[in-house]
Structure 1
């Protein structure tokens, strides 16, 4: 496959290959939706690591992939360790009704909060529990000081600084104790096992799947 700077040309060439074409997208939130939709239209299976897609866009892509019977994977985080953190958070949520998420990334990341933090909050919310019952009437003296709310009243706080790569804390609180789950990325090579697994698995799919945990 030649190296080109035109996606349409690459997709046309991919359809001419004997093996099923797979497109891995690590681009930018502004272009990822069009990239993925174009790939599906050509029958090329997208593996999407770019975050920033809205729920409406994800739903639209899911319907488009379903009609085309074309596999598509949207993976907010390719780290196996992060999937394990999310599973541990789901287990902990059975015993704690107060939880908040802090995500920390490099200052070149365009979207906030991260797709991983949103996914974590969504997974917790799917359990049907209502989190963080208010004990006092809160008042933000600075707008956004308490972060953004996702799902069942889960606050997410975003930090952007040079020197960071990708980090996340899920903090549970109860009377007299704090339980903290944290994942740190020290090198981006940790994503490769998840990327390679996704490339292999997407060729077996006929629709869109959201989240690495769905294919492990």
Structure 2
């Protein structure tokens, strides 16, 4: 049984993660971390107090950019594997997480997007960019998303040839959407992915929770878990 700690458990993504983990037979939510939940059973206001009460196998973090780095450092230092879906980490912070994961007993997996379709979109866009000379990325998210461009858009651009421009849209009514438009001689190619609810991310989160223990050091993106060749 995989014992899971969910950081940001009262948030929209956190609640979805709690539900997804609870439905799996080989894992359970051992503790929830969120100041909103303080006083509820197996809930703690911060990660340090949660780990002081017991050591889970994996921490899943869907908090905010101001909290995720400290949570990752705390968990890795305690020997807890981490799965991070919160975006906004700096390159320097990722490098420090990598150093801790490579030098200690716990591993880390950071993914900007856990939707399997979004990972496929990124892979297709990377391949298409080798054959079409120009591309631009349009990412659209709900108006409460704190970072722009999104982590998914930045990851997509990093995988592609050239330097595609990124355009960010923040509007109420959206969840998470991205188009990659590529142009060639008298033709265009559009690759689009739409997450219609936060449940679209849950199969990937569950997959990452199962996989992180077997992937030494730091894994960036869900692609290595899905394809095993990146």
The TM-score with structure 1 as length reference comes to 0.83
RCO greater where, 1 or 2, for CA within 8 Å and sep 6 or more?
A: 1
Uncovered stretches (5+) of structure 1, i.e. residues with no partner: 132-152
Partner in structure 2 of residue 74 of structure 1: 110
Residue 4 (structure 1) aligned to one of 36, 44, 55: 44
Partner in structure 1 of residue 157 of structure 2: 121
Work out which of the two has the higher radius of gyration on C-alpha atoms and give 1 or 2: 1
Q: CA deviation at 1:13?
A: 3.0
Q: Say yes or no: does 1:167 pair with 2:207.
A: no
Partner in structure 2 of residue 193 of structure 1: 203
Partner in structure 2 of residue 64 of structure 1: 100
3-state secondary structure, aligned to 1:51 = coil
The TM-score with structure 2 as length reference comes to 0.78
Deviations 1:143-162 (A, max 9, x none): xxxxxxxxxx2211100000
Aligned length: 186
Cα distance in structure 2, aligned partners of 1:186 and 1:97: 31
Q: CA deviation at 1:14?
A: 3.4
Cα distance in structure 2, aligned partners of 1:206 and 1:76: 19
**Any runs of at least 4 consecutive aligned residues in structure 1 with deviations exceeding 4 A, and if so which?**
none
Q: CA deviation at 1:106?
A: 0.3
